[in-house]
Chains A and B, each alone.
Chain A
Amino acid sequence: MSHGIEIVNAFGKTIIDEKYANYYIDSTSPYTVAPGATYPPAGTDSTDLIFARPPQGENKTVAIQYLATAGQPPIWAVDDYDLAIFPNYAGEPTSYKYFRAKKYTDLAIPSGFGLQVYGSSGELFFTTPENLSFEVVAVGNIRGASHVTFPSTSGVFSDLDKYYCLMNTCAYAAVNARFYGYEVACFYTYEWVTSTSGRIKIDSELYFNDGFADTYNPENFDYMIVKIVG
């Protein structure tokens, strides 16, 4: 770059510059929504990212369910006969806790403190959030494995309640499930070891029944886990 600002982290990744807008959380505490509610929630823009988890202490699965009925919007997934066919599915939570990450344009911009970075046209690309922020913990794509666990199958995040998972790429749908049909499911299951610690299992599977046998195959899933900071 010939001018302006660029902040590079200790591993060589640019985290702030004046070319690309950072994301910000649009609330000071997580929203709560019941399973079965319409997804995405009202007020969501097409550029938003939505991160969710089950309530603290619930060993449950979070997912987005696409309904087979034409014209019906997806919903925050509910436990039903078909979704329960997946071995790593742990059942619906009593509610979903979620944050919405937006570009700066839809948010009130704090002033009087912190760092602000503007682009060449005067648009604000980075500002210091007044309350909560988040950073990326894991991002990737599952292709060859049906599930992976963070931080490990034996390790834990000491503060799991601060970890949320990307819902935009989550998906569950069934077409004639259980008999000459298929189901596809990409979801996150929380495993709490204590009231505050635990791990997250990312699952991506495709179930297929050809009328004679059930088969499970790994699916293609873009996942992301973030940690709330602040």
Chain B
Amino acid sequence: MVTINMTDADYGRYETRGFYYEQSGVENTAISVTINTGTFGNWSISYPGTWNGIENCISSAMSGANGQTITITPSQDQSHYAVYFIAGSRQSLLTGSISRQTVPTPTYGLEVYNASGVKIISPQSLLIRFADSGALAGPLASGATSSPIYVQGMLNDNSWDIIIPIINSVQTDDVTLNRVTVTKDTGFFTITNNTSGALSNIVYWVLRA
């Protein structure tokens, strides 16, 4: 059990961020939330990705009584989320802890040691692998979607990761948020330019992580 105690006295807001990735590949592991003292008021959650299940889990189980513990088991693997627990009244103090269940030591799977005898791969390891990289052939006009970029075996799931630098051309960039949208599909993906100007030199890496 790994416990992170919250110590923020700023009107009782306690937060934790992203500790699922303190170790690799443990994103599906349950966490326990315990309210120790104070009047529980509310919670909120933020995440870059999509988490289904956490909101319903907290809403249905969290009455706010001291000593209450709930267990949250994410129903969808993702890289990061943050949960905020907020005191019931401003200036009051809420103390609590969030614990992550320790991943059991596996009794199966592959272990690889390097020449120095250091274990470099275990069944808990998460590795990235190279699938493809490249650049669009020409500038992508405002609002335009690229031709399909074919990647053999590609699926529309989160085992495929496409990374794109946000700055592709300083001279033609603008202030529009989320400059490009990547759409994955079976066997290919596309890139859409969300800005009001053309983007050139769009490079990408396709990884399996």
Contacts and interface: CB of A to CB of B under 8 A. Distances in A.
Interface of A: 7, 9-16, 19-23, 46-47, 49, 66-68, 70, 103, 110, 113-115, 128-133, 135-145, 148-155, 157, 166, 168-171, 173, 175, 182, 184, 186, 206, 208, 217-222, 224-227, 229-230
Interface residues of B, number: 73
B175 A182 contact: yes
A103 B132 CA distance: 11
B22 A155 contact: yes
A155 B16 contact: yes
A129 B80 CA distance: 29
Given A10-B106, A184-B167, A140 B177 contact: no
Contacts of B77: 11-12
Contacts of B6: 154
Contacts of A169: 163-166
A140 B80 contact: yes
Contacts of B116: 130-131, 230
Contact of B110 (A12, A16, A19): A16
A129 B114 contact: yes
A16 B129 CA distance: 8
B193 interface: no
Contact of B19 (A14, A155, A225): A155
A135 B127 contact: yes
Contacts of A229: 118-120
B91 interface: no
13 contacts: A7-B109, A14-B208, A20-B131, A22-B127, A68-B170, A115-B110, A131-B114, A135-B125, A140-B79, A144-B47, A148-B17, A152-B19, A153-B16
Nearest to B21: A138
A154 B129 contact: no
B173 A22 contact: no
Given A9-B124, A15-B126, A68-B170, A113 B163 contact: no
A138 B17 CA distance: 12
Contact of B114 (A139, A151, A222, A230): A230
Given A14-B208, A168-B165, A142 B48 contact: yes
A20 B166 contact: no
Contacts of A153: 15-17
A133 B115 CA distance: 11
A178 to B, nearest CB: 14
A191 to B, nearest CB: 13
